Structure 1
Amino acid sequence: MKILFIEDNDLNREAISEYLELHGYEVYAKPDGANFLEVVRECEVPQLASLKLGLPTP
């Protein structure tokens, strides 16, 4: 399963991404959603997208 994970906190992003990958998920982790459509194309349409509510705007 491909997961797009957007989290602006570096430590949280790395820890959660690593945890998901250890459980067999393909994770595309990014610090912001500025290029959201480009990122979706990069991971060939994820089955799940997780975005932090309240991300700062660029």
Structure 2
Amino acid sequence: MSTKKFSLADESATILIGTKLANLCSKQTTIYLHGDLGAGKTTFSRGFIQSLGHQAT
């Protein structure tokens, strides 16, 4: 298992890295997100999921 750490400047950067990572995944992928409350896990996930075509309601 490989571990990567990123320091992102703001919400836009967090969404962007989620989007970019989603575009790199060509098959089923498991990503484990670890961090304190407010670390950006949900924001990252939002960018990832929306780039795959999901539209929030």
TM-score (norm 1): 0.31
Q: Higher strand share goes to which structure?
A: 1
**TM-score under structure 2 length normalisation:** 0.32
Rg larger for: 2
| Larger relative helix fraction | 2
